[in-house]
Amino acid sequence: MTQNEPSVESAEHPHPERGYIHRKDDYLKRLRRIEGQARGLQRMVEEEQYCIDILTQVSAMTKALQSVSLGLLEEHLGHCVVRAAQTGGPEADEKVKEATDAIARLVRS
C-alpha cells in the first residue's frame, strides 16, 4: 500500500488493511455460488430426492466453504499478522493467538 494508491483509502474501501480486499470480488462470487448451493439443497429436500445425493451436495458445499476459509486465513496471515509482527510488541502475540484460535475453530468444525 503506497502513497500512489489513494483510491483504496476511499469510501469504497473503508478498511484498506484487510488482507482479502484485493480479492473481494472473487470472494463475493464464491459466496454467491455457496448461497446458490444452499438453495439447491432446499429444492432437493422439497423434491424428496435420495438422502445420499443430498449428502454429496452438502459435502461439496462444505468443501467450498472450507476453501473460502483457507483463502481468507492465508490473506489474514500474509497481511494482518505479518504487519503486526513488523510492528512488534504485544499486538504481534495477540494477533498470533487470535489467528490460532480461528484455525482451531476451522480444524474442529
The binding site for a second copy (CB under 8 A) comprises: 13-15, 18-21, 24, 27-28, 31-32, 34-35, 38-39, 41-42, 45-52, 54-56, 58-59, 61-63, 65-66, 68-70, 72-78, 80-83, 85-86, 88, 92-93, 96-100, 102-109
Closer residue to a second copy (CB): 4 or 109: 109
Distance in angstroms (rounded) separating the CA atoms of residues 15 and 27: 16
Task: Please state the closest distance from residue 75 (CB atom) to a second copy, in A.
Answer: 7
Task: Please state the closest distance from residue 46 (CB atom) to a second copy, in A.
Answer: 7
Distance in angstroms (rounded) separating the CA atoms of residues 52 and 32: 24
In Å, how far are 28, 57, 94, 98 from 24, measured between CA atoms?
6, 25, 25, 22
Task: Locate 61 and state its grid cell.
Answer: 458445499
Name the residue with cell 470480488.
25
Closer residue to a second copy (CB): 4 or 71: 71
Task: Please state the closest distance from residue 35 (CB atom) to a second copy, in A.
Answer: 4
Task: Please state the closest distance from residue 5 (CB atom) to a second copy, in A.
Answer: 15
Identity of the residue numbered 12: E
**CB 41 within 8 Å of CB 57:** yes
